[in-house]
Copies of this chain bind each other. A is one copy, B any other.
Amino acid sequence: MSNKLRARRSTQRVTMNDVAKLADVSASTVSLYLRKPDEVSTQLGKRIQSAIDTLGYVPNLMAGALAAARTRVIGVVVPSMVNAIFASTVNTMQKTLGAQGYQLLLGHSDYEESEEEAAVRTFLSWSPSAMVLTGLTHSRETRRMLNNSNVPVVEMWELGSNPLDTLVGFSHHDVGYTQARHLIEAGCQRIAFIGTRLSVDERAKQRCRGSEKAVRDLLGSQHARVIDCGFGRMAEAASRAFTDLITSHPNIDGIVFSNDMLSLGALSEAQRRGIRVPDDIAMIGFGDMDFSDCTLPSLSTIRPPREEIGEAVAQSVLRRIKGLPQEKRIDIGFELLPRQSSLRASILSHAP
């Protein structure tokens, strides 16, 4: 008999067994109490709870996850964590899901499919309860992994075709259309579009197309110009883009921006140049950022449903996990916030 003592590797943490011993019940009962308190008698429940409290027992998540073959983890991939817009959504999800005992694993794609793929791969090895991605554009491999994983997936912040599973968002095309229409209704005739990263940001691209369509539908013309600022510090890039624009197209009278930071940059540049906003040029952005209603003039914009998306995603995920029936496509809509930067005198004189 090889009875040699193996080096015991035990961490000296309090385990469920310790609790069981102190409460004078079996470990199974403690486990049951922890998972389904109702199925344990009140009396034992109390004894167990008090044992837990005395010992300061903390369940070992790893052991639980291994035994149950699942974790209470939800993987979330957003394009950028620095972007406050997504932060609000994640924040809301965190609150709702956290209250239900789920832990978010946060990753970012930097607007690159390959980065997203890496994040998804990492997250999947956690056996997550669900995965949440941003947008509908993913690499082939990402889609494959997700499809094979048998994990509920929610794509958010966009509506469109070929969803992986569940979809929660709004139409960016409609946003763009609404932006341009708003300017047109304010009396603008020659409209330009200024955005960033149009090459990689599918949603920004959609907004641009929507704006384009409105210009075509309502003015029978085209964007006078579309400028892609590319990457880098946004507001600064916007200053340059604005300068560029009014040089090449001095008769522009309305600009649709891909986000409010760009609006702000352009607005400042306009002021610097003595161009009046909205009288000479009207502007509308997207995002309703913190500062948007505090500039002078305040910035007209579209408020995306940041928190609402977070909440809807959370609820959707919860229902999916519990196996409840769940809508596959949820349109949250958005809100036009007309403010001073598009409030032209002309709109008054142009009354129908």
List residues of chain A with CB under 8 Å of any chain B CB. 9, 11, 58-63, 65-66, 69, 71, 80-82, 84, 87-88, 90-91, 94, 98, 103-108, 121-122, 124-127, 233-236, 238-239, 261, 264-265, 268-269, 271-272, 290-291, 293-296
Contact = CB atoms under 8 A, between A and B. Distances in A.
A239 B98 CA distance: 35
Given A82-B88, A261-B290, A264-B294, 13 more contacts: A9-B69, A60-B125, A60-B127, A61-B127, A62-B65, A62-B127, A82-B91, A235-B291, A235-B293, A236-B294, A261-B291, A271-B296, A291-B291
A63 B66 contact: yes
The 5 closest A-B pairs by CB, nearest first: A235-B294, A62-B65, A62-B66, A268-B296, A82-B87
B66 A290 contact: no
Contacts of A124: 58
A127 B13 CA distance: 11
Contacts of A269: 294
Given A265-B291, A295-B268, A108 B94 contact: yes
A142 B294 CA distance: 39
Contacts of A62: 62, 65-66, 71, 126-127
A207 B16 CA distance: 47
Contacts of A235: 290-291, 293-294
A346 B248 CA distance: 39
Nearest to A144: B56
A299 to B, nearest CB: 11
18 contacts: A58-B124, A60-B125, A61-B125, A61-B126, A62-B71, A63-B66, A81-B81, A81-B90, A81-B91, A84-B84, A104-B106, A235-B290, A235-B293, A236-B293, A236-B294, A264-B291, A264-B294, A265-B291
A294 B271 contact: no
Contacts of A261: 290-291
Nearest to A88: B82
A71 B84 CA distance: 30
A103 B293 CA distance: 37
Given A127-B60, A290-B235, A291-B291, A87 B81 contact: yes
Nearest to A306: B82
Contacts of A84: 82, 84, 87
A298 to B, nearest CB: 8
A124 B184 CA distance: 56
A209 to B, nearest CB: 26
Contacts of A121: 58
Contacts of A87: 81-82, 84, 87
Given A105-B103, A265-B294, A295-B264, A66 B60 contact: yes
A69 to B, nearest CB: 5
Contacts of A94: 81, 107-108
A61 B81 CA distance: 25
A239 B294 contact: yes
B106 A106 contact: yes
Contacts of A293: 235-236
Given A235-B291, A291-B235, A294-B264, A108 B127 contact: no
B125 A294 contact: no
